[in-house]
Amino acid sequence: MTAEIADRATDGYRARFGAEPDGVWFAPGRVNLIGEHTDYSGGYVLPFALGAGVAVAAGRGPEEAITVWSGQQAGDPDGVTAGLGALTPERITGWAAYPLGVAWSLRAAGHRLDGTRVAIEADLPMGAGLSSSAALECATALALCDVHDLRVPRSELVALASRAENEFVGAPTGIMDQSAALLCRAGHALLLDCRSGAVEEVPLDPAAAGLALVLIDTGTRHALTDGRYARRRWSCEEAARLLGVASLRDLVDRPDDVRLLADPELRRRAGHVVTENRRVLESADLLRHGALADVGPLLTQTHESLRDDFDVSWPQADVAVDAARSAGAAGARMMGGGFGGSVLVLTSVGLVPGVTDAIAAAYARRRWTAPGITRAVPSDGARRLR
Ligand code: GLA
């Protein structure tokens, strides 16, 4: 699949720019095993990289401008061109803000870019909760660094890509997705402390344990810029302020403090975050001891907490989770920012057909579009392909 999108990106580059690219770079989408809506409160997350992602063919261009073209954007057949000096957050909107935002944030950090041409292809659905946007940012970041001989450590690229998303695109997200795209390794999940930036690779090999991680695309789409995500983030910051701590991360060891919040909604929101941080640490510990199956109940608890306390689930996710559980899955939960996207199911390999059939049947009974079903395999992070 990766070779296929690399070929398509190269072909797109040749067709659009009439030249050979200098190279092709790839960044994957991610699955978050557990740790949802904890990253922007300095908490813990445990994502892994997918095999699918975004390929970027890139090369130097003749003038002080950057052109981004995407095979996914039929509405922009010539792509989008911007003068490098004229890149400002207000001027670029839509899909091009992700790759151009990365050029902007590299320049804002003092890195020198010259004229650049970029052609993009992907085998990752957009808005499906798999971080297609971070994959696009991170593949672009690697490409721009190599094309212009910039030596930027990956930890700094995480910050630069996140800044592009926060300040150029205008989505107030945390650092989980960019960290996963840039830092993950095959056969492992990444335990990330979003306050210190410390990472630990934790072994994650479902097949070896007779288990499968299955992604259910619920067909419902979401946007992290629609205000609902930002409101959740604000609630967490407000709860921390009222409790006199810098962020909800500070309550990992004293979760009962959230009971001091007078406002019932803030109490539920903060309650999710503090319990979720503990579930991440517990899950990482289980993985270190090769007990992936025991993570199942924690996934289900996370779903219930996101549904009932953080209020970010949606009907198609709830139905998929309930159907998976009734059919014997070890655990299941909605994934990502919420309000649309994908559900993650952990089940024994033998039960995969029964579980996925049960979900498909539950959707058919409601006359919903059939769910997309794929196996998630912990894969390598971003890299140069050619
Ligand atoms: C989106 C954001 C992440 C994170 C998740 C929720 O994926 O991009 O930073 O906040 O939602 O866990």
> Nearest residue CA, atom 9 of ligand 1?
174
For the Cβ of 125 lying below 6 angstroms from any atom of ligand 1, the answer is: no
CA of 215 to the centre of ligand 1 (A): 17
Query: Quick one: average pLDDT of 207-233?
Result: 93
* 76 in catalytic set: no
Same domain? For 191 and 226 the reply is no
How many separate domains does the chain show? 2
State the closest ligand 1 atom to the C-alpha of 37, by its place in the atom list counted from 1.
12
Q: Which of 175, 176, 269, 273 has most ligand 1 atoms within 8 Å of its beta carbon, as the pocket-test mutant?
A: 176
What tens digit of pLDDT does each residue of 126-177 get? 889 999 999 999 999 999 999 999 999 999 999 999 999 999 999 999 999 9
Residues 38 and 135 in one domain: yes
pTM: 0.97
| Cβ of residue 27 lying under 6 Å from some atom of ligand 1 | no
pLDDT digits (tens, 9 = 90+) for 63-89: 899 999 999 999 999 999 999 998 999
Dig out the tokens for 69 from the structure.
Answer: 């073209």
Residue 60: domain span: 2-200+380-384
Verify whether ligand 1 is closer than 6 Å to residue 16 (CB atom).
Answer: no
- Cα 308–chain centre separation: 22
- Residues 37, 6 share a domain: yes
For residue 308, the domain's CATH number is 3.30.70.890
How distant, in Å, are the alpha carbons of 12, 147, 157, 214 from that of 151? 27, 11, 10, 37
CATH number at residue 80: 3.30.230.10
363 plus 311 within the same structural domain: yes
Please indicate, yes or no, whether residues 32 and 141 belong to a single structural domain of this protein.
yes
Q: Are residues 214 and 134 in the same domain?
A: no
Query: Are 77 and 94 in a shared domain?
Result: yes
Q: Kindly provide the residue ranges of all beta strands, DSSP E only, lying in the chain, ordered along the sequence.
A: 23-34, 44-60, 65-70, 80-83, 116-122, 188-193, 199-203, 211-217, 331-334, 342-348, 372-375, 383-384
Same domain, 178 and 238: no
The CA distance from 383 to 24, in Å, is: 9
Q: Is ligand 1 within 6 A of the CB of residue 337?
A: yes
Alpha carbons 149 and 206: distance in angstroms, whole number: 38
Residues 259 and 168 occupy one common structural domain: no
182 and 256 assigned to the same domain: no
Tell whether 282 and 340 lie within a shared domain.
yes
Query: Residue of the nearest CA to atom 11 in ligand 1?
Result: 337
Rounded CA gap, 43 and 39, in Å? Answer: 5
